[in-house]
């Protein structure tokens, strides 16, 4: 994110000169993010500022000052977080994956539901009584939360949690994570920098991000040379509607870089769009590949909707999903976008490139 963009959301400090003519800059240095659009990291004079933007309005939603000790002179709009933080309640799966990736999984002292956890470190901590299950904000008991940790990361939805004020009075700080609203795959992954800063692991987070950035961009470059563009459908029926990603969404971005002709590209937008089953059958029945149906087997698919059998991809068995290890996917896919892109390239271009292993995806069984 460039300086000009950030300055629209915060006040620039002027360059000050000392009385002995020695120049001292107190200008905010925007150094933190290259791809992420929903947060930024700004080096201030004596502390690091984290700015989180509402993905819909692009208005500043939260401002945090990462400090070594409390500084009462700072702007009262800044929520002060003393670093390194001793622990965290991580309510989002991607939060856990990012913390795990830079050796911070042992700092996780609370999660939303162990049923959806993949991390072996968190599972071990739970069995040892060191990790607690903490219900969502609507049911959260603030007094119980304080006993677990005074820092919470959660998937933001543009409105503050119902109990946030009460939690704040008890010294609990809530940080919304909007990685799921990022469009660029590296924008999602870049949120690891925030977690690195919280725990004094910013160098490790930056090193990891630089590594996957290089790998991901190399894959994008090689994918641009592919000549085939198979037609791909994605998703499944939910109720009486079939949802597929819009042309400006994260999934569509990956589909485009993996070189396919995907259903949904004609509709602009960052979200998903609904189709009727009849529309999909009429217009896209002959798509050769189907991804992300949300099932482990064709038998499960037919139990959900027997009309799936009319699709060419169903007949040929060219259906791929991450549902065989879904917790692993939700924890790791955001922080390993190079592996997601690699999987899609392998699936879409099996006859055009040398085969490699799939990391997250798997052809569903009969």
- pLDDT, tens digit, for every residue of 45-93? 899 999 999 999 999 999 999 999 888 889 888 999 999 999 999 999 9
Query: Rounded to the nearest 10 degrees, how much is the dihedral formed by the CA atoms of 102, 104, 106, 108?
Result: -130
Q: Which fold has domain 226-363?
A: Rossmann fold (3.40.50)
Question: Quick check: 14 pLDDT over 60?
Answer: no
Higher pLDDT, 123 or 6: 123
Average pLDDT of the segment spanning 240-251? 93
Predicted model pTM = 0.88
**pLDDT 10s digits, 312-327:** 999 999 999 999 999 9
The per-residue pLDDT for 31 is 60
Higher pLDDT, 10 or 62: 62
The per-residue pLDDT for 15 is 32
The per-residue pLDDT for 9 is 34
**pLDDT 10s digits, 325-364:** 999 999 999 999 999 999 999 999 998 888 888 999 999 9
The pLDDT confidence band at residue 218, using thresholds 50, 70 and 90, is: very high
Strand 231-234 with 261-262, pairing: parallel
The pLDDT confidence band at residue 186, using thresholds 50, 70 and 90, is: very high
- Is residue 186 within 8 A of residue 35, CB to CB? The reply is yes
The dihedral region occupied by 341, where left means phi > 0, alpha psi between -120 and 50, and beta the remainder, is alpha
- Is residue 172 within 8 A of residue 150, CB to CB? The reply is yes
Question: Quick check: 5 pLDDT over 90?
Answer: no
Could you tell me what percent of the chain has a pLDDT over 90?
Answer: 77
Mean pLDDT, all residues of the chain: 89
Which range has the worst mean pLDDT, 2-11, 20-29, 43-52? Answer: 2-11
The CATH 3.40.50.1980 portion of the chain extends over 3-213, 226-363
Q: Which fold has domain 3-213?
A: Rossmann fold (3.40.50)
Which residues, 6+ apart, have CB-to-CB distance to 1 below 8 Å?
Answer: 30, 32, 33, 34, 36, 37, 40
Average pLDDT of the segment spanning 126-149? 91
**pLDDT 10s digits, 260-306:** 999 988 888 888 889 999 999 999 999 999 999 999 999 999 999 99
Average pLDDT of the segment spanning 143-154? 94
CA-to-CA distance for 265 and 261, rounded, in angstroms? Answer: 8
Question: Quick check: 11 pLDDT over 70?
Answer: no
H-helix or E-strand spanning residue 95: helix 93-101
Average pLDDT of the segment spanning 126-154? 92
The pLDDT confidence band at residue 7, using thresholds 50, 70 and 90, is: very low
The per-residue pLDDT for 161 is 84
* Per-residue CA distances from 134 to 18, 108, 137, 156 (Å): 51, 12, 9, 17
The pLDDT confidence band at residue 160, using thresholds 50, 70 and 90, is: confident
């Amino acid at each position: 994110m460039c300086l000009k963009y950030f300055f629209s959301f915060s006040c620039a400090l002027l360059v000050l000169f000392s009385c002995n003519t020695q120049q001292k800059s107190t200008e905010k240095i925007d150094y933190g993010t290259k791809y992420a659009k929903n947060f930024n990291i700004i080096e201030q004079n004596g502390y690091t500022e984290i700015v989180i933007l509402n993905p819909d309005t692009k208005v500043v939603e939260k401002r945090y000052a990462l400090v070594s000790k409390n500084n009462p002179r700072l702007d009262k709009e800044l929520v002060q977080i003393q670093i390194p933080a001793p622990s965290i309640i991580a309510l989002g799966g991607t939060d856990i994956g990012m913390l795990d990736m830079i050796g911070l999984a042992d700092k996780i002292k609370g999660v939303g539901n162990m049923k959806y956890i993949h991390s072996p470190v968190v599972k071990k901590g739970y069995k040892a009584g060191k990790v607690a299950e903490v219900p969502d904000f609507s049911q959260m008991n603030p007094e119980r939360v304080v006993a677990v940790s005074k820092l919470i990361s959660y998937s933001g939805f543009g409105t503050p949690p119902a109990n946030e004020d009460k939690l704040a009075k008890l010294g609990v700080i809530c940080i919304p994570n909007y990685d799921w609203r990022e469009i660029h795959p590296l924008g999602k992954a870049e949120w690891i920098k925030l977690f690195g800063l919280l725990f004094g692991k910013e160098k490790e987070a930056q090193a990891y991000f630089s590594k996957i950035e290089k790998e991901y961009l190399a894959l994008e470059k090689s994918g641009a040379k592919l000549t085939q563009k198979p037609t791909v459908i994605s998703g499944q029926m939910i109720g009486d509607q079939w949802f597929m990603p819009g042309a400006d969404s994260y999934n569509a971005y990956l589909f485009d870089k993996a070189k396919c002709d995907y259903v949904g590209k004609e509709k602009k937008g960052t979200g998903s769009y609904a189709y009727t089953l009849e529309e999909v059958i009429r217009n896209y029945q002959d798509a050769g590949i189907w991804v992300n149906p949300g099932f482990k087997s064709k038998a499960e698919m037919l139990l959900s909707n027997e009309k799936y059998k009319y699709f060419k991809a169903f007949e040929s068995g060219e259906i791929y999903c991450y549902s065989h290890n879904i917790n692993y996917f939700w924890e790791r896919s955001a922080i390993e976008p190079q592996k997601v892109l690699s999987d899609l390239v392998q699936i879409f271009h099996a006859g055009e490139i040398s085969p490699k292993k799939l990391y997250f995806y798997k052809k569903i069984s009969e």
